[in-house]
Amino acid sequence: MFKLKSLFIPFVYFVMSCNSNNSNDSKLTEVSTLPFFNKPDWTPEWITVSDSNYKKIHTIPSFSFIDQNGNTLNEKSVEGKIYVCNFFFTKCRGICPKMTSNMGLLQAYFKNDNAVLLLSHSVTPESDSVSILKEYSDLNKIDYNKWRLVTGSKKEIYALARQQYFAGDSIGVMQSDKDFLHTEHFLLVDQNKRIRGIYNGTLRLDIEQLIKDIQELKKEEK
């Protein structure tokens, strides 16, 4: 059921815009094509710049992790960029290989686009060391300039995932930071660190929609 929401919310808005009369058109066109997601229940919200809630839109706070090359990756690393993030672990033999393959499709599509970055967080940082991530990166032909794999404090990764990215096994179900995080979702974050979409990272159709949504985001002003 979730996939239908992720694919068709922008489309429904587009149809509404096309069918509205002229007096309503000006109001509708002020609204972003992509919604904002401000709560763990993943209710989409279309908020205009003139709306009093615009400055209250949920944003991803500061963070600091270590990537596959042993370098620090923090909020400054994604400043002004559109990025797609997910949560994985290198020993995963279930959904992770498919997610990695599909993230690879995004890497190939946006290879020469400096405005887009990919970010994968390890959910087993105690075993996914820098050297392990580097080995995984080489095995999967990951382009360091486009796609970062990060490790660090498990407590900090899980807190960021649960409390800020609203990541979980089930949509709209809050889980404890102590529960193992194993989710197939890809999250789309805009140039201002605001969540704009959630997608099933194992489904090619969702990846195609994600590509379209990234292109739509690039039309927005920072």
Query: CA triplet 211, 216, 217: central angle to 5 degrees?
Result: 100
Query: CA triplet 46, 164, 109: central angle to 5 degrees?
Result: 70
Residue range 46-67: average pLDDT? 96
**Residue 184 is part of a domain; what is its CATH number?**
3.40.30.10
Residue 27 confidence (pLDDT) above 80: no
Confidence of residue 41 (pLDDT cuts 50, 70, 90): very high
pLDDT tens digits for range 90-134: 999 999 999 999 999 999 999 999 999 999 999 999 999 999 999
Q: Report the predicted TM-score, pTM, of the whole model to 2 decimal places.
A: 0.84
Residue 14 confidence (pLDDT) above 80: no
Residue 166 lies in a domain: yes
Phi then psi dihedrals of residue 94, to 5 deg: -95, -100
Per the model's pLDDT, the better-predicted residue between 25 and 64 turns out to be 64
Indicate the pairing of strand 116-122 with strand 82-88.
parallel
Question: Which helix (DSSP H) or strand (DSSP E) does residue 132 occupy?
Answer: helix 130-139
Question: Which helix (DSSP H) or strand (DSSP E) does residue 206 occupy?
Answer: helix 204-217
| 64 CA to centre of own chain | 17
Residue 48 lies in a domain: no
Q: Which of 57, 112, 114, 55 minimizes the C-alpha distance to 81?
A: 114
Task: Evaluate whether 68 touches 130 at the Cβ level (below 8 Å).
Answer: yes
The predicted pLDDT at position 4 comes to 37
Q: How far apart are CA 152 and CA 35, in angstroms?
A: 31
> What's the domain count of the chain?
1
Residue 169 lies in a domain: yes
Q: Could you list the residue range(s) of the whole structural domain that residue 35 is in?
A: 2-41+57-217
Residue 2 confidence (pLDDT) above 60: no
Residue 47 lies in a domain: no
The predicted pLDDT at position 88 comes to 96
